């Protein structure tokens, strides 16, 4: 990936840098811990579990080894490399995935859209002869174009809106695809049980199978159709294609505009076309000519309906390339509604297909627009005018964002003192560390990471928190006392009025988050607080001395 010149205020950053992102490689737990009953955490193993935005649980794990948190990017790292989803809940990740979490200087959603942008390039970065894969070092070494946080927010806002339009149109198209079979069931009932008592007959008694063949003559031009020319589900096709008989080679089926062309190959059983001209077709297409009891359009729609395709798939014969050929199709029973009702159904389907065509065009347009925005977002082009017009505001906002972690610590200390009813109440740094961690994990107001927490002896630990406490002490807002005898560090607010003045810059939603965390966890003693953290976030108990001491305690 070529490093291009970035706009003023932007910089290239290594993805794995401590202040940019944390990369967690998945690890498959023992097979004995898998279950389908919802015990433990959802377990995702790779791209096969992905949805459009977030994966859908199919398997759970009662003893996860590696986990992702809500909002983490889930990156497919093994065949294929590159596709992404977002974790909608805490989950277990197998070795086909990595979890990527934006840290202090990078919004996770900004990184998510960046991965969407570089997915085609990233897919070629895998290594391995049997299947491609990408390792942690390679992921962490990726260079990310990084603007100031307010610009990241602006880019995310634009891309989210564009992506939402794309997804809404995709959902509308998927809904339209479900309407056709529902319309059939409403008008005619389930063909398997025939609750409305329509006449039935074998398809072979209702349809002529015109499977005779002709050998194309060299030098003569034919209008030719093959399965690859026909679109699945809709029957839309490109062509027929004028082709010289020399290229066609072996014998082919002739067809007319009175036929229905049915693909008998199992991977393409939903390819059914209505030709509008005469021509010849591949022998993998079967020309069907309906008798007097069936409309051509009704037959074509019937053969594309999910229940008929499922039957054909189940009854296909052959090993290398299974087929549902004429002899098998002729035996299938089919309902035969009155022709006027068939005609009414086909009219409604045509209206539905026209609506679907417009939806497809809209989806194609919105997808192209989204891709175009992605291409411009990470060069600075997308926000260039906005950045120029709001340069002073961006600088002020960035300065606030850099100060936010310190203000959040101050808010937690003030809330703790207020709850204790003493302006100068002391808070142990170990407790403050847990409050800050819980706010970061559970705060409703922000997906931004303020600290890089790692598992340590007494739960989640972030060394940057000590730097921020020193800064608050220099500002005359708190006092930090290190008790070497008890090996404890205590913090207290020393100027409540000055602290309240400083907190006026903190957004209200973050103030509410701080108040909620202290209200929920502030009355717990050290052990209870640590147990609460370990219970909710077991990944941070890996190096716990509390857990180790319990295991070493003698039985009596």
- Kindly report, residue by residue over 346-392, the tens digit of the pLDDT: 999 999 988 888 988 999 999 999 999 999 999 999 999 999 999 99
| Residue 4 included in any domain | no
Alpha helices in 378-428 (DSSP H): 384-389, 391-420
Q: Supply the pLDDT for residue 176.
A: 84
Residues in the chain: 556
Residue 507 CB contacts under 8 Å (≥ 6 apart), including other chains: 445
Residues 97 and 64 in one domain: yes
Residues 259 and 308 in one domain: yes
Give me the phi and psi of 353, to 5 degrees please: -65, -35
| Residue 258 included in any domain | yes
Does residue 547 surpass a pLDDT of 70? Answer: no
- What does the pLDDT average to over 293-315? 95
First-to-last alpha carbon distance for the chain, in angstroms, is 63
Q: Supply the pLDDT for residue 428.
A: 92
Where among 84, 113, 146 does a domain terminate? 146
| Residue 2 included in any domain | no
| Residue 5 included in any domain | no
CATH number at residue 43: 3.90.220.20
| Residue 327 included in any domain | yes
Residues 270 and 239 in one domain: yes
Tell me if residue 60 falls in helix, strand or coil: strand
Answer yes or no: are the C-beta atoms of 426 and 432 closer than 8 Å: no
Average pLDDT of the chain is 91
Q: What are the structure tokens assigned to 164, written together?
A: 């939402």
Q: Supply the pLDDT for residue 554.
A: 46
Q: Supply the pLDDT for residue 424.
A: 60
Burial of 328 (0-12, 13-18, 19+ CB in 10 A): middle
- Tell me the C-alpha distance between 391 and 394, whole Å: 5
Q: Per mean pLDDT, which of 7-16, 127-136, 444-453, 540-549 is the most reliable?
A: 7-16
Residue 49 CB contacts under 8 Å (≥ 6 apart), including other chains: 55, 56, 57, 58
Residues 228 and 327 in one domain: yes
Q: What are the structure tokens assigned to 497, written together?
A: 């009025």
Residues 165 and 252 in one domain: no
Give Cα 121 distance to the centre of its chain.
Answer: 18
Q: Supply the pLDDT for residue 423.
A: 57
Does residue 136 surpass a pLDDT of 80? Answer: yes
Does residue 334 surpass a pLDDT of 50? Answer: yes
Residues 177 and 83 in one domain: no
The pLDDT tens digits for 514-546 are 999 999 999 999 889 999 999 888 888 776 665
Domain residues for 349? Answer: 154-198+338-388
Residues 448 and 530 in one domain: yes
Answer yes or no: are the C-beta atoms of 237 and 273 closer than 8 Å: yes
Q: How many domains does one find in the chain?
A: 4
Residue 362 CB contacts under 8 Å (≥ 6 apart), including other chains: 169
Give me the phi and psi of 290, to 5 degrees please: -65, 145
* Count of beta carbons in the 10 Å neighbourhood of residue 54: 15
Q: Supply the pLDDT for residue 1.
A: 66
| Among candidate residues 45, 4, 46, 18, the one with its CA nearest the CA of residue 140 | 18
pLDDT: which is higher, 448 or 397? 397
| Residue 322 included in any domain | yes
Cis bond upstream, residue 240 (ω within 30): yes
- Tell me the C-alpha distance between 510 and 404, whole Å: 9
Residues 522 and 425 in one domain: yes
Residues 177 and 326 in one domain: no
- Tell me the C-alpha distance between 1 and 124, whole Å: 11
Does residue 129 surpass a pLDDT of 70? Answer: no
| Among candidate residues 478, 482, 489, 501, the one with its CA nearest the CA of residue 423 | 478
Does residue 31 surpass a pLDDT of 80? Answer: yes
Percent of the chain with pLDDT over 70: 95
Answer yes or no: are the C-beta atoms of 104 and 37 closer than 8 Å: no
Answer yes or no: are the C-beta atoms of 263 and 272 closer than 8 Å: yes
Residues 426 and 409 in one domain: yes
CA distances from 264 to 50, 181, 229, 322 (A): 31, 21, 14, 9
- Tell me the C-alpha distance between 169 and 418, whole Å: 50
CATH number at residue 514: 1.10.10.10
Rg, the chain, Cα only: 32
Min mean pLDDT across 12-21, 134-143, 236-245 is at 236-245
Q: Supply the pLDDT for residue 124.
A: 87
pLDDT: which is higher, 321 or 394? 394
Q: Supply the pLDDT for residue 555.
A: 43
| Among candidate residues 221, 273, 268, the one with its CA nearest the CA of residue 244 | 221
CA distances from 155 to 111, 380, 399 (A): 11, 9, 19
Could you give the angle at the alpha carbon of 93 between the alpha carbons of 122 and 436, nearest 5°? 100
Residues 73 and 213 in one domain: no
The pLDDT tens digits for 51-94 are 999 999 999 999 999 999 999 999 999 989 999 999 999 999 99
Give me the phi and psi of 84, to 5 degrees please: -130, 155
Alpha helices in 244-338 (DSSP H): 245-248, 296-304, 306-315, 326-331
Where among 324, 354, 388 does a domain terminate? 388
- What does the pLDDT average to over 248-274? 94
| Among candidate residues 347, 370, 369, 367, the one with its CA nearest the CA of residue 173 | 367
| Residue 3 included in any domain | no
| Residue 409 included in any domain | yes
Answer yes or no: are the C-beta atoms of 275 and 258 closer than 8 Å: no
The pLDDT tens digits for 183-230 are 999 999 999 999 999 999 999 999 999 999 999 999 999 999 999 999
Q: Supply the pLDDT for residue 544.
A: 65
- What does the pLDDT average to over 159-173? 93
- Tell me the C-alpha distance between 172 and 228, whole Å: 26
pTM value is 0.80
- Tell me the C-alpha distance between 353 and 231, whole Å: 13
* Count of beta carbons in the 10 Å neighbourhood of residue 455: 16
- What does the pLDDT average to over 137-151? 96
Residues 276 and 358 in one domain: no
């Amino acid at each position: 990936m070529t490093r291009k010149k970035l706009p003023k205020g932007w910089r290239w950053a290594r993805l794995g840098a401590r202040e940019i992102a944390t990369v967690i490689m998945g690890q498959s737990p023992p097979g004995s811990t898998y279950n389908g009953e919802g015990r433990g955490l959802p377990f995702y193993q790779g791209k096969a579990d992905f949805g459009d935005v977030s994966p859908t649980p199919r398997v759970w794990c009662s003893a996860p080894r590696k986990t992702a948190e809500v909002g983490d990017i889930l990156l497919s790292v093994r065949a294929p490399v590159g596709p992404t989803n977002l974790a909608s809940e805490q989950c277990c990740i197998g070795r086909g995935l990595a979890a990527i979490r934006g840290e202090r200087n990078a919004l996770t959603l900004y990184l998510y859209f960046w991965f969407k942008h570089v997915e085609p390039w990233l897919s070629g970065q895998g290594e391995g002869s049997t299947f491609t894969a990408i390792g942690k070092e390679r992921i962490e070494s990726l260079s990310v174009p990084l603007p100031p946080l307010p610009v990241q927010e602006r880019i995310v806002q634009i891309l989210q809106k564009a992506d939402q339009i794309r997804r809404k149109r995709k959902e509308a198209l998927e809904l339209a695809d479900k309407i056709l079979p529902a319309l059939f069931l409403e008008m005619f009932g389930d063909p398997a049980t025939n609750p409305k008592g329509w006449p039935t007959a074998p398809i072979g008694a209702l349809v002529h199978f015109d499977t005779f063949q002709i050998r194309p003559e060299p030098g003569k031009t034919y209008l030719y159709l093959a399965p690859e020319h026909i679109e699945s589900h809709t029957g839309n096709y490109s062509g027929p294609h004028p082709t010289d008989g020399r290229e066609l080679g072996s014998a082919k089926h002739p067809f007319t505009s009175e036929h229905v062309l049915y693909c008998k190959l199992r991977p393409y059983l939903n390819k059914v076309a209505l030709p509008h001209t005469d021509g010849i077709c591949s022998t993998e297409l079967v020309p069907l000519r309906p008798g007097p009891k069936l409309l051509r359009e009704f037959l074509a729609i019937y053969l594309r309906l999910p229940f008929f395709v499922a039957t054909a798939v189940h009854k296909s014969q052959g090993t290398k390339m299974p087929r549902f050929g004429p002899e098998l199709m002729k035996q299938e029973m089919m309902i035969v509604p009155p022709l006027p009702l068939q005609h009414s159904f086909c009219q409604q389907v045509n209206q539905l297909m026209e609506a679907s065509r417009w939806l497809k065009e809209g989806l194609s347009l919105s997808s192209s627009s989204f891709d175009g925005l992605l291409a411009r977002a990470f060069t600075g082009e997308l926000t260039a005018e906005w950045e120029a017009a709001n340069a002073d505001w961006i600088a002020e906002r960035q300065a606030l964002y850099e100060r936010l972690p310190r203000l959040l610590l101050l808010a937690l200390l003030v809330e703790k003192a207020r709850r204790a009813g003493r302006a100068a109440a002391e808070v142990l740094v170990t407790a403050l560390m847990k409050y800050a961690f819980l706010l970061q994990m559970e705060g409703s107001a922000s997906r931004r990471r303020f600290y890089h927490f790692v598992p340590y002896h007494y739960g989640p630990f972030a060394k940057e928190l000590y730097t921020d406490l020193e800064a608050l002490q220099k500002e005359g807002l708190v006092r930090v006392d290190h008790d070497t005898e008890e090996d404890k560090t205590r913090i207290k607010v020393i100027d409540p009025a000055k602290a309240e003045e400083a907190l006026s810059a903190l957004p209200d939603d973050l103030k509410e988050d701080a108040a909620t965390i202290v209200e929920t966890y502030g009355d717990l003693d050290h052990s209870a607080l640590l147990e609460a953290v370990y219970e909710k976030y077991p990944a941070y108990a890996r190096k716990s001395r509390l857990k180790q001491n319990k295991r070493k305690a003698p039985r009596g």
